[in-house]
């Protein structure tokens, strides 16, 4: 088959024509559907001047080993021009396990920072100007106690709660779909998310309590349409729960952000984000009655890209990362985070993390990405693709509501998990049979004798776990135990009586109750989730 007749179908199922022109825009009303940057429906970006006024925030994901080691990496990144932080927690922390729990053995500090008590957070942020540096906490099932720890640290840095800026990922529904780092049954997981939304709306109005994470759903196998559709269904579920608490949508929805993925076809990704902004504005205005423009603005970090990286020929990932950064910039992301080239293997080295940071900085300083807002606006292809993406996202959202009984039921029963798993299988089949080209995998590959993989592996150090356990033991020995016991009882009472748990969480972490103790207390009230299996 010649190139002239070669069929091109995007991952979202959209066929691509060889040429686009004015006829492809007949269904588009430029004033209604495209508009101007900074104006409803925000297709072209949420700010009038976009990066001309302020470049995107650079927020590389970082955290490993002990809090002191993580603190060193934070300071290294800040010294090299990073202007925000994105904190990685180890698996035991994400699962609410203390470092000395038998289930944590071999995992303490391996793929993120180990945090057991407020004392660890105090070390991690020692010397970090959190009044000037926005901090994202990438944690979900135990987001409430980790947020409480961060709020207390901020107060001890003399930053009032009303002035604390930052974000917590805190998207438990995507954990059931995409990562598996869940603890409590679905309804109780949602309840904890809603507690943090309500608490922040009333006490920490500048903080983003939830970053709905289509990124992990995409990395688990979802196509771009599913990524946005499932994320928006999840966000709607959280909004409805918060509205049931008596909040108005304008009281809190402006502080719900999104974490989306950036690997794949450049044009498909750009159109995905433009369509997502437009659709979000319509949803918030028409479905929830939002009045404030800020509430209708979809704020996002375009992050990850790990699903596009390869173990084979790892230096190619540097090039991929540069294109992912370009996608983010052309898409109008507020914040950018790139996977480093060695992340298919290991935790990024300082060198790899610095290359990713410099990639973003080169786009700002040398490539002209900040010169004008939405430079692709008006493109026949991009606008047509944006329209098609929006239509397909809406259709998938309706399918979740009508065929799966809504996102909460679909997650509880494993229906969405099945959809994502099936899509992952289809993608892998495409890579295996070559219908989805992947350089270094099924095209231009090298055999083992030809290929050199110059990647420095991050060695796991058992002494890091030993240090975490020693520090934890010291905190337990030095704290005032009656205060810790009483604070944990308050957490139990709030959870059991349907009260917002955040005030009790704040008291518990101030008393140096451990993360494991808090989680065990909640388990005693909520129980634990059992994953459904659907074929």
pLDDT higher than 70, residue 76: yes
For strands 166-168 and 134-138, give the pairing: parallel
Domain count, the chain: 1
DSSP 41-68: T-TT-SSSSGGGTSPPEE--EE--BSHH
Q: CA-to-CA distance for 370 and 364, rounded, in angstroms?
A: 6
- Residue 17 belongs to a domain: no
Q: CA-to-CA distance for 455 and 343, rounded, in angstroms?
A: 10
- Residue 533 belongs to a domain: no
Q: Write down the pTM of the prediction.
A: 0.95
Q: Phi, psi (5° rounding) for residue 96?
A: 70, 30
* pLDDT band at residue 534 under the 50/70/90 scheme: low
Q: Phi, psi (5° rounding) for residue 344?
A: -70, -15
Q: CA-to-CA distance for 254 and 298, rounded, in angstroms?
A: 8
Q: CA-to-CA distance for 447 and 156, rounded, in angstroms?
A: 56
| Burial of 465 per CB tally in 10 Å (0-12, 13-18, 19+) | buried
| Per-residue b or e along 162-190, where b marks 16 or more CB atoms closer than 10 Å to that residue's CB | eebbbbbbbbbbbbbbbbebbbbbbebbb
How many other CB atoms are found less than 10 A from the CB of residue 101? 19
Asked if 75 contacts 85 with a C-beta cutoff of 8 angstroms, the reply is no
Per DSSP, the three-state class of 434 is coil
Tokens of 201: 């709306």
State the pLDDT at residue 456.
72
State the pLDDT at residue 64.
82
Q: CA-to-CA distance for 67 and 99, rounded, in angstroms?
A: 13
Q: CA-to-CA distance for 167 and 376, rounded, in angstroms?
A: 29
The per-residue pLDDT for range 421-437, each reduced to its tens digit, is: 999 999 999 999 999 99
- Residue 160 belongs to a domain: yes
- Residue 279 belongs to a domain: yes
* pLDDT band at residue 4 under the 50/70/90 scheme: low
pLDDT higher than 50, residue 71: yes
Distances in Å between the alpha carbon of 455 and those of 15, 193, 341, 360? Answer: 38, 39, 9, 22
State the pLDDT at residue 3.
52
Q: CA-to-CA distance for 499 and 342, rounded, in angstroms?
A: 45
- Residue 442 belongs to a domain: no
Tokens of 31: 């004033």
Domain coverage including residue 323: 22-433
- Residue 518 belongs to a domain: no
CATH label of the domain that carries residue 175: 3.20.20.240
pLDDT higher than 60, residue 409: yes
pLDDT higher than 60, residue 167: yes
State the pLDDT at residue 1.
43
Q: CA-to-CA distance for 236 and 249, rounded, in angstroms?
A: 11
DSSP 361-411: HHHHHTS-TTSSS-TTTT-HHHHHHHHHHHHHHHHHHHHHHHHSSSHHHHH
Q: CA-to-CA distance for 436 and 456, rounded, in angstroms?
A: 29
Query: Percent of the chain, pLDDT > 70?
Result: 97
- Residue 78 belongs to a domain: yes
Distances in Å between the alpha carbon of 128 and those of 66, 71, 84, 122? Answer: 16, 8, 11, 10
Asked if 89 contacts 78 with a C-beta cutoff of 8 angstroms, the reply is no
- Mean of pLDDT values over 174-199: 96
Alpha-helical (H) ranges within 85-185 are 91-94, 118-124, 143-156, 172-174
- Mean of pLDDT values over 279-292: 98
What is the average pLDDT score of the chain?
Answer: 94
The per-residue pLDDT for range 226-246, each reduced to its tens digit, is: 999 999 999 999 999 999 999
Angle subtended at Cα 59 by Cα 327 and Cα 48, rounded to the nearest 5 degrees = 60
- Residue 511 belongs to a domain: no
Asked if 167 contacts 139 with a C-beta cutoff of 8 angstroms, the reply is no
Angle subtended at Cα 380 by Cα 374 and Cα 385, rounded to the nearest 5 degrees = 80
Angle subtended at Cα 510 by Cα 93 and Cα 499, rounded to the nearest 5 degrees = 80
């Amino acid at each position: 088959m010649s190139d002239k007749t070669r069929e091109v179908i995007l991952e979202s199922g959209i066929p691509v024509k060889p040429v686009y022109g004015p006829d492809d825009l007949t269904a588009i009303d430029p004033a209604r559907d495209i508009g101007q940057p900074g104006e409803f429906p925000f297709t072209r970006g949420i700010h009038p001047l976009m990066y001309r006024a302020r470049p995107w925030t650079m927020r590389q994901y970082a955290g490993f080993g002990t809090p002191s080691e993580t603190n060193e990496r934070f300071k290294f990144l800040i010294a090299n021009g990073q202007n925000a932080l994105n904190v990685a927690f180890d698996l035991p922390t994400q699962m609410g396990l203390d470092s000395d729990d038998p289930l944590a053995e071999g995992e303490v500090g391996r793929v993120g920072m180990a945090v057991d008590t407020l004392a660890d957070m105090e070390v991690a942020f020692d010397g970090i100007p959190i009044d000037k540096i926005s901090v994202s906490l990438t944690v979900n099932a135990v987001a409430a106690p980790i947020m409480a720890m961060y709020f207390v640290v901020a107060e001890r840095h003399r930053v009032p709660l009303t002035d604390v800026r930052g974000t917590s990922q805190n998207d438990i529904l995507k954990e059931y779909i995409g990562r598996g780092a869940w603890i409590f049954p679905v309804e109780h997981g949602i309840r904890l998310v809603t507690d943090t939304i309500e608490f922040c709306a009333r006490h920490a109005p500048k903080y983003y309590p939830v970053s709905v994470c289509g990124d992990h759903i995409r990395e688990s196998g979802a196509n771009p349409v599913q990524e946005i559709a499932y994320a928006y269904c999840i966000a709607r579920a959280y909004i409805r729960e918060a509205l049931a608490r008596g909040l108005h949508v304008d009281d809190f929805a402006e502080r719900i952000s999104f974490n989306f993925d950036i690997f794949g076809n450049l044009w498909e990704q750009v159109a995905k984000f433009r369509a997502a902004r437009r659709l979000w504005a319509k949803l918030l205005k028409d479905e929830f009655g939002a009045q404030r423009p800020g509430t209708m603005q979809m704020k996002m970090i375009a992050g990850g890209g790990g699903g596009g990286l390869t173990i084979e020929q790892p230096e190619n990932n540097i090039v991929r990362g540069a294109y992912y950064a370009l996608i983010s910039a052309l898409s109008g992301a507020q914040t950018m985070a790139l996977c480093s080239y060695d992340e298919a293997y290991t935790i990024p080295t300082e060198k790899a993390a610095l290359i990713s940071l410099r990639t973003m900085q080169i786009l700002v300083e040398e490539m002209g990405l900040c010169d004008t807002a939405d430079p692709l606006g008006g493109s026949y292809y991009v606008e047509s693709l944006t329209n098609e993406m929006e239509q397909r996202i809406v259709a998938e959202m309706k399918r979740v509501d009508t065929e799966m009984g809504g996102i909460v039921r679909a997650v509880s029963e494993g229906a969405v998990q099945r959809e994502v798993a099936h899509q992952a299988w289809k993608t892998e089949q495409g890579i295996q049979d070559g219908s989805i080209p992947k350089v270094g995998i099924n095209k231009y590959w090298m055999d083992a004798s030809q290929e050199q993989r110059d990647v420095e592996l991050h060695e796991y150090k058992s002494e890091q776990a030993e240090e975490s356990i020693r520090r934890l033991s010291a905190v337990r020995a030095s704290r005032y135990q009656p205060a810790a016991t009483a604070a944990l009882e308050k957490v139990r009472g709030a959870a059991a009586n349907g009260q917002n748990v955040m005030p009790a969480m704040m008291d518990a972490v101030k008393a140096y109750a451990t993360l494991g103790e808090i989680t065990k207390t909640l388990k005693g009230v909520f129980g634990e989730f059992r994953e459904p299996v659907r074929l």
